[in-house]
Structure 1
Amino acid sequence: MKFRVLPLLMGSILLSLGLAAQAAPTKPECIAPANPGGGFDLTCRLAQEGLKAAGTLADPMRIVYMPGGIGAVAYNHVIAQKPDDPESIIAFSGGSLLNLAQHKFGKYGVNDVRWLAAVGADYGVAVVRNDSPYKNLKDLMAAFKQDSSKIVLGAGGTVGSQDWMKAALTARAAGVDYRKMRFVAFEGGGDALTALRGGHIQAYMGDAAEAFTMLEGGAPIRLLAVFSEERLPGKLSSVPTAREEGFDIQWPIIRGFYVGPKVADADYQWWVDAFNKMQADASFAAIRDKQGLFPFNKSGADLDKYVKERVADYTKLANEFGLIRQ
């Protein structure tokens, strides 16, 4: 009898400890590595609204702003100061991964955190004026290849940024030396659109969600192609992919979360399960769509694999485009 009671007692204790370790955070927070109002803020709000709507979090999630280096400051802070904190999730984007690939996060790399969940994505897009002579991506690429000096590409980022990379990939796909492309960096999509409407640039290398918002607002633009693997759902389903036009250009801009490197497995799994439940909830699609994002659901080991593959791809591209000093 004694030998039977002891295992049962131990099993109950272990089960209780496991449940305690997997209890919902009592002071959950999402760190947005930027000032309020940007993409990281949007990402945290997705978690804040989505987890609440799915009934996963009983306690409200607060958002903490930690700007600097497109995520570099927050990345270093979490690893060094809060490596085992189960209460905090940190937002990241495709831009964060691109910066990791270019060693812009200091001494830390892609293996120094635990990648948690991706909850949506945007995609690159090539945009021209609606009265442009370029009716499709093939037309633009033919003109670009014939005389690259006559095609000025504009976007909202400087050399090495996601927007610049989209332009560089477009140039390469057209058979043009990226070092010879004419590229103008703007403060944001609004300035780029103004330049496009004024004829100062011939194409705007933007994001699908932003371009869709411009179209909905009556902007005189035409979307030539989206840089996605497949056509996007909804109102942009009529826009072909670059691959359909004969050019293998893909640029997903994912949004998601990670946690510190020493967060316990049980706590990490609690968050994975919470996000899986959130994304399976019927209400989440409307929350995501409201923010202009498209479906992109990966979590746990699946996301970890994806992130590391993307950083490896970005590292290769950054080397090819001379962005990493040897």
Structure 2
Amino acid sequence: MRKVLAALVIMVMLAGCEKDTAGGGNSAGGEVKYPTKTVQLMVPAAPGGGWDLTGRTMQKAFTDGKLIDQSVEVYNVTGAAGTVGLAQLVSKNSGDPHHLMVMGLVMVGGVVANKSPVKLDQVTPIATLTAEQEVIVVPANSKYQTLKQLMDDAKANPASINWGGGSAGGTDQILVGLLAKAAGADPKAMKYVAYSGGGEAKAALLAGDLTAAVSGQSEFKDLVSSKKVRALAVSGGTGVDVGGGSPAKTIKEEGYEVELMNWRAIVAPPGIDKPTQDAITALIDKLHNSEQWKATLADQGWEDFYKSGDEAKAYFTSENQRITTVLTEIGLG
């Protein structure tokens, strides 16, 4: 019996050591030290888009603000509205708290539209970060001066309008579908070209391959400022300056009952114990409260949309339900 008890004690001790290794590292007081090595921050999309901008802005805020004593590396994994990166996080990085991933509303839609076998309820929610209005833009030489003109043609002849934006089933395509529905057009008839990153959509618009493009307002701010494209409307409740020097009109002001905000968030892989999850959340809390992050929100025109821990988990669940319903209604689910 004593031998059996001794073996059990050793097994428990080894299990505890394994947990400490998988986590951030437990201190004598039971708190988890995090991070203990380089943080790998995955952007599950091509460079140049909103997720990429979010990830690299987080990296800069961590570094410039000296918020952690470890480095932060950002890397890109492209494909299928972020679901390729999602699958990698869940399988390859399971149990590793030093791998985090930027995600958001686009991925919620992407999971549905791409019928992804890996679901968002498999990750460890950490926090929502920002919310951003979408903007609808056309080339500077476009005949369309107003959103109504564009949607009138989209309704009369859907094939005449080439829409472009982020991945299939993402925020951009959801907005096009909602706009079509509000304008009395057939959402399923809209010609939408999906790109893996904002940089590709910009290039296609400037090359004349697209009639109109949709993305987060910060992604087109430079092109609007340089007068290479014209902003027709933004998707929030109030107009914001997207680079033109004055607030752009909202979709509602243009006569369509549509409002949509593109939120972004940070998650960890599955298999993270609660103390380590709390330590990661505490680090993101620290980022959110830093002066560097507050300045970033102002510079980019992002709205503070912070929810962490259980509140973030509940929000992810509700958004899954909402977006699944929307995609089904506009024929994308």
1:304: how far off? 2.1
The code of the aligned residue for 2:60 comes to E
Decide which of 109, 116, 119 is 2:119's aligned counterpart: 109
- The 1-side partners of 2:119 and 2:152 are apart by 40
Match status 1:195 vs 2:203 = no
Could you say which residue in structure 1 is the equivalent of 2:69? Answer: 58
Match status 1:77 vs 2:88 = yes
Matches within 5 A, 1:42-191: 42-102=53-113, 104-106=115-117, 108-128=118-138, 135-142=145-152, 144-145=154-155, 147-149=156-158, 152-157=161-166, 160-183=169-192, 187-191=200-204
Aligned-partner SS, 1:298 = strand
Could you say which residue in structure 2 is the equivalent of 1:24? Answer: 34
1:168: how far off? 1.7
Matches within 5 A, 1:206-225: 206-219=215-228, 221-225=229-233
TM-score norm. by structure 2 comes to 0.76
Could you say which residue in structure 2 is the equivalent of 1:13? Answer: none
- The 2-side partners of 1:269 and 1:18 are apart by 17
Deviations 1:164-186 (A, max 9, x none): 33222111110111233455667
C-alpha change, 1:178 and 1:65, in structure 2 (3 Å) is: closer
Aligned-partner SS, 2:305 = coil
Aligned-partner SS, 1:250 = coil
- The 1-side partners of 2:289 and 2:221 are apart by 25
- The 2-side partners of 1:19 and 1:235 are apart by 51
Deviations 1:215-267 (A, max 9, x none): 21232x43222112333368576112223333232333323210123212222
Match status 1:323 vs 2:332 = yes
Is the 2:169–2:332 contact (alpha carbons within 8 Å) kept by the matching residues of 1? yes
C-alpha change, 1:149 and 1:275, in structure 2 (3 Å) is: closer
- The 1-side partners of 2:113 and 2:83 are apart by 12
- The 2-side partners of 1:154 and 1:321 are apart by 15
1:79: how far off? 2.4
Total equivalences in the alignment: 302
- The 2-side partners of 1:83 and 1:263 are apart by 8
1:57: how far off? 0.9
Match status 1:229 vs 2:237 = yes
Deviations 1:40-86 (A, max 9, x none): 44332222222234443111122344444333233223323433222
1:140: how far off? 4.2
C-alpha change, 1:224 and 1:19, in structure 2 (3 Å) is: farther
Could you say which residue in structure 2 is the equivalent of 1:5? Answer: none
Is the 2:140–2:227 contact (alpha carbons within 8 Å) kept by the matching residues of 1? no
1:194: how far off? 3.7
What 5-or-longer segments of structure 1 have no aligned partner? 1-15
C-alpha change, 1:43 and 1:157, in structure 2 (3 Å) is: closer
- The 1-side partners of 2:283 and 2:300 are apart by 20
1:25: how far off? 0.9
Decide which of 254, 259, 278 is 1:245's aligned counterpart: 254
- The 2-side partners of 1:160 and 1:265 are apart by 32
Aligned-partner SS, 2:208 = helix
1:132: how far off? 6.1
- The 2-side partners of 1:184 and 1:17 are apart by 51
C-alpha change, 1:19 and 1:240, in structure 2 (3 Å) is: farther
